[in-house]
Structure 1
C-alpha cells in the first residue's frame, strides 16, 4: 500500500525565511530604523526651520531688535585721545580696552541731566548681576571743574576722567538736534564705539540691549 505525503503549501510558506538585508537584519527592522532616524532629524531641524520662517516670513515688528542706534561704521577709540584722572596721570583712553565701556560726556559741574545719566549707567551695570564686571562706566569730563564729593561717594565705580571736548566731539556722533553730552555711548571690548542711546533714554531699554550684548558676545 503506497503512502502519499500530504502537501502543505501554507506550512511551507510559513516556514520560508523572511527577507533579510546584507548585514543579516530583517528587512522590516531596517525600514523601521530608517523612519526613526528621519523622525529624529525632523525634530532636530524644527527649531531652525521655525526661526527662519519667523524671521523671513513673519518678520519681527519694527525691523530692528535694538533700542540703541548702531554706529556704522564702527569708530575705534582714537589713539591720540588722552584722558586725565584726578591723580594727574594722563593715559590713552584706549588703555581701557578689554571690557565694555558705557560712557557719558559732561562738564564737571554735572547738572540734573548729567546726574541722571550717571544714575542710569550705574543701574544698568548693577542689573547685569555676575556679568557686571564686564562693564566699566566712564564719565568723560569736558572741563577742569572739580567733581563734588557727593558724586564721588555715590558713584565710586565710575571712572571720572578729563578729556579734550573737541577731540570727543569728533569721535562721538551726535545728531542735528543733539550734542554728544545728550547721549550715553557704548564701546565694545575691542575699543570700537558701536552704539549710541537716545537723549532722555529709557533705562529699562538700555538694560535690555546691554543684557543681549553680554549674552551673545563672549569678548570682554
Structure 2
C-alpha cells in the first residue's frame, strides 16, 4: 500500500463535494423559480396596479373598437356601448384630467372615446368644445354594457381596465408607472 494514495482520497472527495455545492448554488435558484412558476407556490398575491389587468394579448378590436392602426403613444380609451350618458362623460373628463396630470409626460399619452350610438347634438357640441383633442372611434358592442376606461399601449394592446367608479388618482399612478417602465411610446 502506498501512503500517498490514502492521503489524496479525502481531498478528491472534498473536491467533488465543492463541485456539487457550486452546481447546486447555480442551478438551485433556477429550478426553484421554474417550480414556483409552474406550480404556483410562494407567489405573492399582492399587486401594484389598481385596475383589472388584461394580460391575454387583446387589442382594441377585441372589444369592438373600430380604430385606425396602432398609434405612437399611450391612450386612455373610454368605451360607451350604449351611448355616452353621465358615467361616460365622467370617464371622458377623467381621461382628460389624467392626461393633464401627466405633466411633462402628457405628450406620450392621449385620450379617446369609442361609442356605438351617435351622440345627441348637444353632447357632440359639448365634447367638441371642452375636449378638442379627444379622438373619436366607432364601437361594436361585444360585452359589458357599462362605460369603461382602458389603458391602451402604443401598439394597440389593452393593458388595464377600469369601471365607471374608478379613482382618477389610482389610474394616474398606474399610467405613470407604465410610462416609467415602458420603452415604447
Give me the TM-score of the superposition, normalised by structure 2: 0.66
What do the CA deviations read for 1:122-143 (whole angstroms, capped 9, x no partner)?
A: 0000011121111121100111
Rg comparison, structure with higher value: 1
Distance 1:210 1:180, change over 3 A: farther
Aligned 8 A contact 2:84 2:119 in 1: no
Aligned 8 A contact 2:70 2:155 in 1: no
1:218 alignment partner in structure 2:
183
Distance 1:181 1:104, change over 3 A: farther
Q: Distance in 1 between matches of 2:79 and 2:54?
A: 17
Do residues 160 (structure 1) and 136 (structure 2) align?
yes
Please state which structure has a larger fraction of its residues in helix. 2
2:110 alignment partner in structure 1:
136
Matched length: 140
In the TM superposition, residue 77 of structure 1 has moved relative to its aligned partner by 3.5
In the TM superposition, residue 161 of structure 1 has moved relative to its aligned partner by 2.4
Q: Distance in 2 between matches of 1:107 and 1:64?
A: 29
Distance 1:96 1:72, change over 3 A: closer
In the TM superposition, residue 96 of structure 1 has moved relative to its aligned partner by 3.8
Structure of higher RCO (CA pairs closer than 8 Å, 6+ residues apart)? 2
1:97 alignment partner in structure 2:
71
Q: Distance in 2 between matches of 1:63 and 1:108?
A: 34
Runs (5+) with no aligned partner, structure 2? 1-43
Aligned 8 A contact 1:144 1:162 in 2: no
What do the CA deviations read for 1:3-22 (whole angstroms, capped 9, x no partner)?
A: xxxxxxxxxxxxxxxxxxxx
Aligned 8 A contact 1:107 1:145 in 2: no
Runs (5+) with no aligned partner, structure 1? 1-60, 84-92, 171-178
Do residues 63 (structure 1) and 28 (structure 2) align?
no
Give me the TM-score of the superposition, normalised by structure 1: 0.56
CA RMSD of aligned residues (A): 2.6
2:157 alignment partner in structure 1:
192
2:174 alignment partner in structure 1:
209
Within the candidate set 57, 65, 73, 1:74 is matched to 57
